[in-house]
Amino acid sequence: MNDTPSSAPRRRLYGRAQGHKLRPRQQALVDRLLPQLSWPDEGAVDPAALLPGFGSHVLEIGFGAAEHLIGQAARAPQTGFLGIEPFLNGVAKALAGIEEHGLENVRVKRGDARDELERMPDAAFDRVFLLFPDPWPKARHWKRRFVQEDTARDLARVLKPGGALRVATDVKVYADHALPILLATPGLEWTAREAGDWRVPPEDHITTRYESKNLGDCAPVFMEFVKG
């Protein structure tokens, strides 16, 4: 178990926290449903305690409009899913999807996944998704990128032995930044053996509207790692 004190200062969160004003139904979901499905800002964050009775647990970091999170959770009702997203509008969309599909296997948190990871126990998840994170392309902003040496160590730590990490990006400089860090992270083993392994979407991948917009400067790169 990670012994980071729960009173550790919260990191500064970069980027927008909210976009357009929420519609009345979205705001009602945030007011009513989010308190039921979230977890406290202090103390340990144990997915097995938040979602008891599930055989496996999955974490999605920065779920955006929640299409991937909701789609994966709907496919696997016997798996518990935790999603973390700082953008309020994305959280509202996740809540709408949870209610629309009647999902009982999802918990969501509006916050910074870096802080939340530090509060999670070792070997907590069977899978972790980090899909199309903000690339922060300017050199002076590289320190804001999610994949850093410390976060990579935490990603490896919270995975169970044999668990899988998937990092996807459509920005070349982000792939060039993240891959060496992940390759050097103890406990993570890259599964790719040929170019198609990172160029072809995995069979269980759910393509979101954001991905379909092709806003990046390269075809999507899928980096798959397993916990050794």
Q: What is the pTM of this model?
A: 0.91
DSSP the chain: -----TTSPPPPPPS-S--SPPPHHHHHHHHHTHHHH---SSS---HHHHSTT-SEEEEEES-TTSHHHHHHHHH-TTEEEEEE-S-HHHHHHHHHHHHHHT-SSEEEE-S-HHHHHHTSPTT-EEEEEEES-----SGGGGGGSS--HHHHHHHHHHEEEEEEEEEEES-HHHHHHHHHHHHTSTTEEE---STHHHHSPPTT----HHHHT--SSSS-EEEEEEE-
Question: Is 116 annotated in some ligand binding site?
Answer: no
Question: Is 60 annotated in some ligand binding site?
Answer: yes
Active-site hit among 3, 115, 134, 150 = 134
Q: What is the pLDDT of residue 160?
A: 98
Percentage of the chain with pLDDT > 70?
92
Percentage of the chain with pLDDT > 90?
86
CATH 3.40.50.150 fits 27-35+52-227, yes or no: yes
134 noted as active-site residue: yes
Q: What is the pLDDT of residue 17?
A: 57
| Domain edges within the chain | 27-35+52-227
- Which regions in the chain score pLDDT beneath 50? 1-7, 15
Question: Is 211 annotated in some ligand binding site?
Answer: yes
